[in-house]
């Protein structure tokens, strides 16, 4: 159930967006820094941690498992690790709110501990399937006590004696891969994940940074990632770069509003996460990566985006893992591009916080844009005027809410999302940052009466 009243919000046509801003830390890296810091020995100090609800719920869960985590006077987060296998059974449920990443990666952690844990989440997370991550973890020794269940709430029991496996994931998923590799730290031997398409590699990079023995090879054209178990991780300093998925909303806004010129500092540009920017360039966008550097083992750059006339393109299915979270805002941007944009291979979007394929198409149709879903393909016919004036059902999905608030900045009439409250799960600074650039948001009249 929704534990707060909905917070509708409207976006109005903006004049010009401009400025230089920094987005919060990357959500994927923030989760992993906390989790691996908890499994390391010694102190891990994290700067730039995303302080959204999803990440903070992971921190609370680790605290409940006996790992002290606190924020220091300088604003950094300190994790006092317990070592591989050193966490304790919690006395209460672990509540992950809306975070699919948090709960799936935590299942990998719990797998290697002799403890029984009940995992819960909000209404949206409780609808999301867990079977694809539970299956390989059960092969390693995790026991699901709720037989037949594959959604939250779940009661699971881990084991201190996991079995290493070699597992080919049926779909490209960094969450499944990461959960298996994290569990593999607790197994005696080598655990290998074979993926059909390379997915974001933050877990491999961070495992290596903390001292795990990780290798990546090719097997018959597929990527195989292995981790050796029964090792030790050592705590250290982690600097979290800016989240490219959050930056995508600012970049799209600059491309929608004529005359705009926006720079976003310190953004992660890991090649497994830059599919959105590759697509923007194919559409004719003026996007530049500057001051490229390596920070904490990850490639980082400043991104400058200037308004440009866009054209519709075909986005191939093999690009989906590198931009899976950006499709809703890309679809909204496609409404302003000349011609048809086809986004293919998006089955994964049907099992996100909402059915993002259906929710995105419905939101566009409600605002006068021709859009349809054909199997796993989303098709948007853009280039005409964008009437706007519609109400978008967000289905408790933060990315749907942000995508359509950006979309409304160029529409003829205000665009309203039925609830903007859940934006805090991943990007609590979204509204103030957008308004700093020149965006105009307001509570709709109906909600004020």
**Helix or strand holding residue 64 (H, E):** helix 53-64
Provide the β-strand partners of residue 340: 381
SS3 200: coil
DSSP class of residue 368?
T
Nearest to 320 by CA among 366, 281, 264, 377: 377
CA–CA gap between residue 435 and residue 414 (Å, rounded): 16
CA–CA gap between residue 262 and residue 425 (Å, rounded): 24
Q: What is the secondary structure of 385-434 as a DSSP string? A: ---B--EE--TT-HHHHHHHHHHTTSSSB-EEES--GGGGGT-TTHHHHH
How buried is residue 114: exposed, middle or buried, by Cβ count under 10 Å (0-12/13-18/19+)?
A: exposed
CA distances from 129 to 31, 74, 125, 126, 135 (A): 20, 39, 9, 8, 12
**Structure tokens that stand for 120 in this block:** 């819960």
Q: Which residue has the tokens 């908890």?
A: 38
The reply to whether 325 belongs to the active site is yes
Q: What angle separates helix 398-407 from helix 244-256, to the nearest 10 degrees?
A: 20
SS3 107: helix
Provide the β-strand partners of residue 380: 341, 371
SS3 letters for 328-349? HHHHHHHCCCEEEEEECCCHHH
- Contact (CB, 8 A) for 338 and 310: yes
CA distances from 351 to 130, 200, 324, 361, 376 (A): 10, 18, 12, 15, 12
Catalytic residue among 95, 201, 302, 325: 325
Which amino acids are annotated catalytic? 325
């Amino acid at each position: 159930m929704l534990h707060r009243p909905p917070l509708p919000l409207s976006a109005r046509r903006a004049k010009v967006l401009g400025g230089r801003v920094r987005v919060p830390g990357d959500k994927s890296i923030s989760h992993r820094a906390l989790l691996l810091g908890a499994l390391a020995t010694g102190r891990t100090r994290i700067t730039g941690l995303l302080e959204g609800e999803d990440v903070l719920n992971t921190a609370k869960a680790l605290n409940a498992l006996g790992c002290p985590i606190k924020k220091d006077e300088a604003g950094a987060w300190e994790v006092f690790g317990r070592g591989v296998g050193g966490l304790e059974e919690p006395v209460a449920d672990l509540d992950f709110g809306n975070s699919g990443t948090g709960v799936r990666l935590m299942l990998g952690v719990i797998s290697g501990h002799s403890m029984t844990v009940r995992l819960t989440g909000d209404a949206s997370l409780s609808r999301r399937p867990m079977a694809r991550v539970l299956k390989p973890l059960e092969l390693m020794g995790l026991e699901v006590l709720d037989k037949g269940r594959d959604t939250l709430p779940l009661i699971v029991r881990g084991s201190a004696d996991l079995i290493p496996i070699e597992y080919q994931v049926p779909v490209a998923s960094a969450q499944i891969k990461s959960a298996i590799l994290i569990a593999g730290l607790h197994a005696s031997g080598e655990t290998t994940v074979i993926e059909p398409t390379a997915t974001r590699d933050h877990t491999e990079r961070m495992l290596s940074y903390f001292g795990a023995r990780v290798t990546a090879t090719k097997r018959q054209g597929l990527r195989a990632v292995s981790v050796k178990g029964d090792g030790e991780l050592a705590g250290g300093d982690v600097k979290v770069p800016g989240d490219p998925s959050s930056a995508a909303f600012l970049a799209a806004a600059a491309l929608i509003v004529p005359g705009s010129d926006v720079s976003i500092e310190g953004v992660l540009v890991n090649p497994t996460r830059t599919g959105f920017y590759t697509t923007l360039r194919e559409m004719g966008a003026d996007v530049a990566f500057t001051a490229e550097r390596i920070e904490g083992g990850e490639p980082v750059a400043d991104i400058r985006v200037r308004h440009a006339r866009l054209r519709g393109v075909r986005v191939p299915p093999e690009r989906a893992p590198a931009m899976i979270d950006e499709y809703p805002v890309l679809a909204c941007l496609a409404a302003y591009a000349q011609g048809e944009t086809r986004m293919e291979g998006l089955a994964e979007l049907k099992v996100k916080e909402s059915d993002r394929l259906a929710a995105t198409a419905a939101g566009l149709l409600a605002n006068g844009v021709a859009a349809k879903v054909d199997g796993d393909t989303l098709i948007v016919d853009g280039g005409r005027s964008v009437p706007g004036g519609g109400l978008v059902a967000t289905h408790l999905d933060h990315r749907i809410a942000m995508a359509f608030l950006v979309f409304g900045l160029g529409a003829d009439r205000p665009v309203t999302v039925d609830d903007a409250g859940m934006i805090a799960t991943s990007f609590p600074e979204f509204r103030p940052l957008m308004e700093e650039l020149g965006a105009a948001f307001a509570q709709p009249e109906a909600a004020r009466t």
